[in-house]
Amino acid sequence: MQLIDHYAPEWITETQAMVEGWLAEEPRSYVYLLLDASFKHETTLTWVRENWPEGNWRSLYQDAPNTSERVLAISPLLLLVDKDSLGALEAIAKETSGQPMLSLVVSTETLDLLWERLAAFRIVTVQDARYVLRLTDARRLSQIAEMLSKEQRALLMSHMTAWCYIGRDARWRELALGGVTTAEPDDMSSIRLDDRQTQILLDMNRIDALIDGLRRHESELHDLFDSPSRRHEWVVKTLDSASLSAADYPEQVQCCRSAAHREGWLT
C-alpha cells in the first residue's frame, strides 16, 4: 500500500549529489541513512544484510531483551554511508519509494555513538506506560521534534549537523536543528513525556487514520486523488476549514463527503 508519493526520476541523482557534498565537507562528518523496516518488513532487513557491509549498520532494536528475527524485521536500521555505498541508492529508492521510511542524518558521531543516542528514544514513558516512539516514520519526525522539550531535543540531536527526511511529496525536507546545544545531557536512559506532549503524540495519527478509513470504507472518495500527498493536503484543509481536525471519525468522514459533493467531485 502506497502511503506517500513515489520518487521523481531525478531523485537518485539529487540524493547522490547531496550526500557527496556532505562527505566532502571539512571537518569531516558522518552520513547515515535511517530506514524504518516496519513498512517493508518482508524485504528490508534481508536486503541490508545482503548489500551493506556488516560493520557499517546497526538495528536500533538489536540489544533489546529476547530480540527475535521477527523483531529485527520491523526495527529501524541505521546505515553508515560512504562513497562506496552510493551505488546502492538505486536499490534503496526501489525499496523505499512510496513509503515514509527514509531519513538521512549528518553527524560528527561514530556509528556506535549515534546508535546509542537514537536507541534512547526507541521507547518513551507516557503516563507510566511504555510507548514506541516512531522517529523513523518520516510522516512523524517533524511533529515529534516539535513536541520534544529543549532538553530532549538536545539529547536527540546533539552533534547532528543535518537531519533530512522524505516528505509526503517524496522530496527531501530538512529538520530545523536551530538552538540545539552540543552539551551532553546528564541522563540518556529514560525519556518521559508530560501531559502536553502525550496529547500531541496521541493526536499525530488522526489524519492518517482517517485516510486509511476512507481507503477501506469510502473508496470512491479516497480514490479521487492522484497522489497521497494531494489527498492528505485536501483532507487537512477540509477539516481545518470546518474546525473539525479534532472531531470524531464519523463526523470527519461526513465533512469530507460533504466537501467533495460541494466541490463537484462526488455526485
Residues 100-128, mean pLDDT to the nearest whole number:
94
**pLDDT of amino acid 190:** 75
Calculate the average pLDDT of the chain: 93
Tell me what percent of the residues of the chain surpass a pLDDT of 70. Answer: 96
Is the pLDDT reported for residue 11 higher than 60?
Answer: yes
Residues 223-235, mean pLDDT to the nearest whole number:
97
- Split at pLDDT 50, 70, 90, the class of 247 is confident
Least Cα distance to 97 among 39, 164, 17, 21 occurs for: 39
**pLDDT of amino acid 243:** 85
Is the pLDDT reported for residue 189 higher than 70?
Answer: no
Is the pLDDT reported for residue 185 higher than 60?
Answer: no
pLDDT in tens, 132-168: 899 999 999 999 999 999 999 999 998 999 999 999 9
- Split at pLDDT 50, 70, 90, the class of 179 is low
Phi and psi for 104 in degrees, rounded to 5?
-140, 130
Is the pLDDT reported for residue 181 higher than 60?
Answer: no
Least Cα distance to 31 among 91, 97, 81 occurs for: 81
pLDDT in tens, 72-100: 999 999 999 999 999 999 999 999 999 99
Is the pLDDT reported for residue 67 higher than 90?
Answer: no
Residues 39-61, mean pLDDT to the nearest whole number:
97
Q: Is 0.85 surpassed by the pTM of this model? A: yes
Least confident of 129-133, 166-170, 234-238, 259-263: 129-133
